[in-house]
A = this chain, B = another copy of it.
Amino acid sequence: MKTVAIAGVGLIGASFGLALRRAGFTGPILGVSSPGAIADALACGAIDAGVPLEEALERADLVLLAQPILRIIDTLGRMAPLVRPGTLVTDAGSTKVHICAQGAALPPGTFLGGHPMAGKEVRGAAAGEAALFEGRTWVLTPSDPAELDAAPAREFRSWLERIGARILILSPTEHDAVVAITSHLPQMLSTTLGVTVDSALTRADQLLAGGPGLIDMTRLAMSSFEIWSDILATNTEPVRQALGRFIETLEAIRARIGDPSAEADFDRAAALARRLRES
């Protein structure tokens, strides 16, 4: 892996450039992005040059697409005539089924889907951090497990390890079902909680009765719809199923409110919360 290109140098793309550099990658890192993003990424040292997509695909051995989901799908669709044999194209999109279906249209062995489970409340290259992926899961989603065995994929995985990421292998379908539960469900609950509180309170000062618990539970509600719009559009059915499952569970727990049997619900949820913090 001599040259890397990153399309979309926002928080994730810029952090990947910074992380590679810190881990000892010495080749050129090219950025493909809007002029403003390129300027920010150059300023923080995440990339060495901004280039058009065509030049990036001509020069790079590894191409990371760190754009919004629908932009990734669009970029993949324009890539087939440009990509060189032996180049690995991967991505950082938050849903995988639609992206990996589009990636499968590239020559065999070219595309390997991915999803780093990292983020911050701030966006943009200026917020990039070399340590963003340290100790965080980076999911790889081969449509066929053999995709992981080719030399470019093996080299990419070794760089992921060097930047401190923990690799988790899931199929695209399994990934989308799992993140519908672990990521998209929490987001929708936070948003729905915000809407419910807003509609239920009858006077502005009642909001003063909101404690630290409500603060925690509404942090995700401040997420940008720009990002979530793509996620929900490309994972509609798994998210609907996750919400359906949640509603069924909440109905059952609601029936146990005030009954000592609710202790088992608290115990089970607390055990999950502790496992999550240990994992």
Interface, chain A (partner B; CB < 8 A)? 117-119, 137, 139, 166, 168, 170, 174-175, 178-179, 181-183, 185-201, 205-223, 225, 228-229, 232-233, 236, 239-240, 242-247, 249-251, 253-254, 257-258, 260, 262-263, 265-277, 279
Contacts and interface: CB of A to CB of B under 8 A. Distances in A.
A188 B253 contact: yes
16 contacts: A170-B206, A178-B201, A183-B214, A191-B269, A192-B269, A195-B253, A195-B269, A196-B249, A197-B276, A207-B275, A210-B279, A214-B276, A218-B269, A221-B269, A221-B272, A223-B266
A221 B270 CA distance: 5
A218 to B, nearest CB: 4
Q: How many copies does the complex hold?
A: 2
Given A188-B254, A221-B266, 10 more contacts: A186-B193, A186-B214, A192-B250, A207-B276, A207-B279, A216-B220, A221-B270, A225-B262, A225-B267, A247-B251
A182 B207 contact: yes
Given A198-B268, A229-B263, A246-B192, A273 B208 contact: no
Given A215-B277, A254-B244, A263-B229, A206 B186 contact: no
